[in-house]
Amino acid sequence: MDAAAKSKLIKGSTGDWEIVIGMEVHAQVTSQAKLFSGASTAFGGEPNAHVSLIDAAMPGMLPVINEECVAQAVRTGLGLKAQINLRSVFDRKNYFYPDLPQGYQISQYKSPVVGEGEVVVDLPEETIRVGIERLHLEQDAGKSLHDRHPTMSFVDLNRSGVALMEIVSKPDLRSPEDAKAYVMKLRSILRYLGTCDGDMEKGNLRADVNVSVRKPGAPLGTRCEIKNVNSIRFIGQAIEHEARRQIEIIEDGGAIEQETRLFDPVRGETRSMRSKEEAHDYRYFPDPDLLPLELAPEFVEALRTSLPELPDEKKHRFVADYALSGYDADVLVAERESAEFFEAVVCGGASRRDAKTAANWVINELFGRLNKEGREIGASPVGAEQLGIILDLLAEGTISGKIAKDVFEIVWNEGGDPRAIVEARGLKQVTDTGEIERAVDAIIAANPDKAEQAKTKPAVVGWFVGQVIKSSGGKANPQAVNTLLRQKLGV
C-alpha cells in the first residue's frame, strides 16, 4: 500500500480500516423534450403543466424515444472513454409509488447503451483512475410534496419522464475526498459535453453512494447505499459518517446489513430508509412497447468527431502550449467558460499575450472578484477583451502593476475601454525622468537622516522607492525610481 492509500485509512479501536466507495450518479440529460414524450423538460412551471398523456401513463399511450437524448447518452459515453453498445434494450423496473403513474420506470437493465469506461481524477497528492461500470438511460419520476396537507400528499408530474443518465462507477474510490473529486470531475466532463448542466441545487445531478469498510487487503465488506445526496459537501459528510457507523458496528461485534439509507444534512448522519421486507424487488423485464435501441456505427462516429475538447486534453494543451503549471491548468479547465475566457485573453490581442501573466490575472484577480460577489464567469463585468487591454498596458509599461489593479476595479464597476480610462484619468505611469527626479529630490530633502542611513543600510532604499511611488499616486515607474534614487543617494 503506497503513502497516498495509507493516508486515507481511518483508525478504529481494532486498527486501521479502508473505506470502499462506488457511486451511482443520476444526471439529467440536457434536452428540450422528455425521453419518451413531446412534453417540455423546463424547470419549474405550474404543477402538471409540462405533462403529456404519456407522462401521466394514460391507458393506450405509447412511448417514442427522443433521438437527441440517445445522442446525449452516446456523447457522454464517448467523453467517459467508454464502450458504446450498438444494441441496447429498455426494461421495466416495477415499483409502486404515487409519483410514478406507470407503476414502472423505463430503464435499461441487462443491456445498457454505454459499457465500461474511465474517469481520470487529479488529486493534490496523486492521480486516480476511476472505472465506469456502465451508463444507461432511464425516466425520472414525478415529485411528491408531503407538507401541504395533514392527510394528503400532493403530486406534480412535471419531472415525470424527463431523461436521466445513470452513471455507475466501479468501487474504486477510497476516501470522501476521492468521491468528491470524482463527482466534480464527472460534472466538469458533462458540462463540457453539454449533456447535463450539472446543477445540483436543482437536482439535475445527484448521487447514490455505496459505502463499505474493510481491513486493508481483506475482501469487500457488506455495503450500504446512501440515496440521493445532492451536494458535493454532503457526499463527503455522508461517507465520513457512514464509514464510522459501520466500523463501530463491526468493532462492537455486530454485522452490517445491506440496506438503503438516507443522509440527513441537518443532523449530519445517515439513517435507514427501507425495511428489509421491502428490499429491492423490481421484477425487471424488457419493455414490450419498445424495440431494442440499435445505433449505426456512422451515428456514433459522427458524434465522436463532433465532441468538444474535454478537460483532460485541454489541461495537457495548456501545460504544453502555454507552459502553465498543472495546478493553474486544472483551475482554468475545470469550467469550459473559464478556459475559453483565459484563451480569449491570451490570444485576443494583436500578438499573443504572456500566458503566465494572463493565468495569474484570471485566477487571482478575476476569480477572486467573481467568488467574492458570487458571480459566474459568464456574468463577469470585465470581459476578456478588456482584461487583455489591461495586460497590454501593463506589458508596454504604460501603467504599473498597482494601477493595473485600480483600472481592473474601475472597469469592473463602471465598464469602458481600459486604454481610454487610463488616458482620461491620467493614470499613465510616469517614465519622464524629470518629473520623477523632482519627486525623488523632494523626498530625500524631507528625510536627511534616512538618506544618511541608506549609505550603510541599502535596505532603506526600498523605503525611499515606496515613498516616491506613493507621492506620485502610484504612477511613477518603480524601476526608474530605483535607478534615480541609487544615483542620488550614492549607493
By CB under 8 A, tell whether 91 contacts another protein: no
By CB under 8 A, tell whether 477 contacts another protein: no
By CB under 8 A, tell whether 145 contacts another protein: yes
Q: How many residues of this chain interact with another protein, rule: CB under 8 A? A: 51
Complex with another protein: residue 38 or 254, whichever CB lies closer: 38
Complex with another protein: residue 292 or 397, whichever CB lies closer: 292
What is the nearest approach in angstroms of another protein to the Cβ of residue 98?
4
Contact between residue 57 and residue 254 where contact means Cβ atoms under 8 Å apart: no
By CB under 8 A, tell whether 409 contacts another protein: no
Among 153, 272, 306, 479, binds another protein (CB under 8 A): 153
By CB under 8 A, tell whether 367 contacts another protein: no
Q: Which stretch binds another protein (CB under 8 A): 11-19, 31-39, 406-414, 464-472?
A: 31-39
Amino acid found at 232? I
Continuous segment of H or E residues that includes residue 137: strand 127-139
By CB under 8 A, tell whether 307 contacts another protein: no
Conformational region of residue 17, where left means phi above 0, alpha means psi within -120 to 50, and beta covers everything else: beta
Complex with another protein: residue 67 or 432, whichever CB lies closer: 67
Distance CA 388, CA 395 (A): 10
Q: What is the per-residue DSSP string for 240-297?
A: HHHHHHHHHHHHTT--PPP-EEEEETTTTEEEE-S-GGG------EE-TTS--EE--H
By CB under 8 A, tell whether 146 contacts another protein: yes
Residues with Cβ within 8 Å of residue 328, at least 6 apart in sequence: 318, 359, 363
By CB under 8 A, tell whether 262 contacts another protein: no
What is the nearest approach in angstroms of another protein to the Cβ of residue 167?
21
Among 27, 33, 332, 439, binds another protein (CB under 8 A): 33
Q: What is the per-residue DSSP string for 416-431?
A: --HHHHHHHTT---B-
Per the structure block, which three cell numbers stand in for 139? Answer: 425516466
β-pairing, 15-28 vs 163-169, is antiparallel
Binding positions for another protein, 161-180, rule CB under 8 A: none
Q: Which stretch binds another protein (CB under 8 A): 152-160, 230-238, 429-437, 483-491?
A: 152-160
Of 325, 321, 328, 361, nearest to 345 by C-alpha is 361
Among 7, 32, 483, 487, binds another protein (CB under 8 A): 32
What is the nearest approach in angstroms of another protein to the Cβ of residue 70?
7
By CB under 8 A, tell whether 144 contacts another protein: yes
Q: 245-260 as b/e, with b when 16 or more CB fall inside 10 Å?
A: bbbeebeeeeebeeeb
Distance CA 335, CA 450 (A): 52
By CB under 8 A, tell whether 273 contacts another protein: no
Continuous segment of H or E residues that includes residue 88: strand 87-88
By CB under 8 A, tell whether 471 contacts another protein: no
Q: Which stretch binds another protein (CB under 8 A): 142-150, 166-174, 253-261, 351-359?
A: 142-150
Which DSSP letter does residue 107 get? Answer: E
Distance CA 356, CA 468 (A): 29
By CB under 8 A, tell whether 449 contacts another protein: no
| Contact pattern from residue 48 through residue 77 relative to another protein, giving x for each residue in contact according to CB under 8 A and a dash for the rest | xxxxxxxxx-------xxxxxxx-------
Among 3, 11, 44, 46, binds another protein (CB under 8 A): 46
By CB under 8 A, tell whether 298 contacts another protein: no
In the beta sheet, which residues pair with residue 10? Answer: 17
Complex with another protein: residue 92 or 314, whichever CB lies closer: 92
Distance between start and end Cα atoms, the chain? 59
Among 2, 96, 378, 459, binds another protein (CB under 8 A): 96
**Residues in touch with another protein (CB under 8 A):** 31-33, 37-40, 46-56, 64-70, 94-98, 144-146, 148-157, 281, 283, 286, 290-294
